[in-house]
Amino acid sequence: METPNQNIKPVTTKINEKGNIEIGGCDLVDVAKKHGTPLYIYCEKTIREMAKAYKDAFSSYKKTHFMFASKAFMTKAIVQILSCEGFGFDTVSGGEMYTVKSVLGDLKTCLLNGNNKSEEELNMAIDNNIRLISVDNFLELAMLNRIAKSKNKTVDILLRITPGIECHTHKYIQTGHLDSKFGFDLTQLDEAIESIVEDYKNLNLKGLHAHIGSQIFETKVYYDEVKIMLGEFKRIYDKFGIKLTEMNLGGGLGINYTINDRAPSVYEIAKQIIDSIDKYTEEYNLEKPTICIEPGRSIVGTAGVTLYKVGTSKTIPISNKKYVAVDGGMADNPRPSLYQAVYEAEVVNKRDKNKKEKITIAGRYCESGDILINDVELPELNSNDLLCIYDTGAYGYSMSSNYNRTLKPAVVLLNNGSAKEIVKRQTYNQLVENDMLL
């Protein structure tokens, strides 16, 4: 069964009678006129359909907990939408926790993750009744126990491990292989557990956490991940007598960025996970654990697009290569520069034009590497035309910056013909408000 992460466009995308692209019942030309460009746009229906697909795909496994990987896209509105769909939140910073708290009042549906948490963040998590903390290293174990003891509290924890699984994805977004900055190596796990049992009485070990990577297309890696983790559950029970009850499998399901991508559906990974649990809980004589799934990109990636206004163009005489510049670029989407990410684009207001040319879409920033898409065929572009780049819903807004002292774009949510601004466009006053004169 197909799920929205296998589309390139939001599920409500169509061409209206004017020949313009429409998403969520809204003409993108009208949206750009009202809210300006560059502009992040999200289709609410796509987000909700993807969240529902996760719940349906895992419906046969009753002990499943879903947490949105906040790093993909975190705003108050996304907390409202996904909490309504029954999701909690995987957070990695004080800012992400604060955003959830500002909407829900506490952190009872959240996990705090990360390889270098501060004392301030750990205090915030404990004070706001966080559901779980995923501990990443020995220093953090000691620090967390000290903080919990000072508050006369016991904190439920997971130990994050690196299971030794390498996914065929960009090396910067592989996280489960042995040479990783994240988590305990399996050879360190016993020492961590011994310290909990013998010294850290304010920590309650509930289970293990592993995240094997991002933009994953291989479904079997989830089967292998479960096998390794349940093997550790059995070994830990046999050696320490500790019955672990929670297995956090991370997220990482990929999306289709281009017509050549072949992302699996949520149903495919759910089958691998559930089949593996069935096999290895029986083989190891274990009770079935509560599992946690942490999707991020697959929830919001396809739902989001970015609108740009076309500016100048330049043709290189010796190669005949044509550059067309837009009013954004690497400050609002650094992924092409950082990961060599590839996207599909369409002209919002020229769908009926047959004449096409091969161009390279360049950003406006003072870097030669500020290229959004290389060698794409589009209708001939003129200044002030609108360009829509698909699948920018994950990590565009999250990784945006003020490079070259430009302003961060607004974010607009489209649904049923309504375009609601959920993040205001930054102003020049906001840009300089924290600057100090000598």
* Residues acting as catalytic residues: 366
Q: Residue-wise over 376-401: b if at least 16 C-beta within 10 A, else e?
A: bebbebeeebbbbbbbbbbbbbbebe
E strand spans, 83-228? 88-91, 110-112, 132-135, 155-162, 184-185, 203-209
> H or E stretch including 138?
helix 138-150
The two structure tokens encoding residue 14? 């169509």
Bond prior to 38 in cis (omega within 30° of 0): yes
Helix, strand, coil percentages, rounded to 5, for the chain: 30, 25, 40
CA-wise closest residue to 72 among 394, 400, 412: 394
The two structure tokens encoding residue 223? 């089967």
Taking a C-beta distance cutoff of 8 angstroms, is the pair 373, 308 a contact? no
Any idea what DSSP says for residue 79?
H
375-380 — which CB contacts under 8 Å span 24+ positions? 376/344, 376/345, 378/345, 378/346, 378/347, 379/347, 379/350, 379/351, 379/353, 379/354, 379/355, 380/353, 380/355, 380/356
Cα–Cα distance for residue pair 333/323, rounded to 1 Å: 18
Cα–Cα distance for residue pair 438/429, rounded to 1 Å: 19
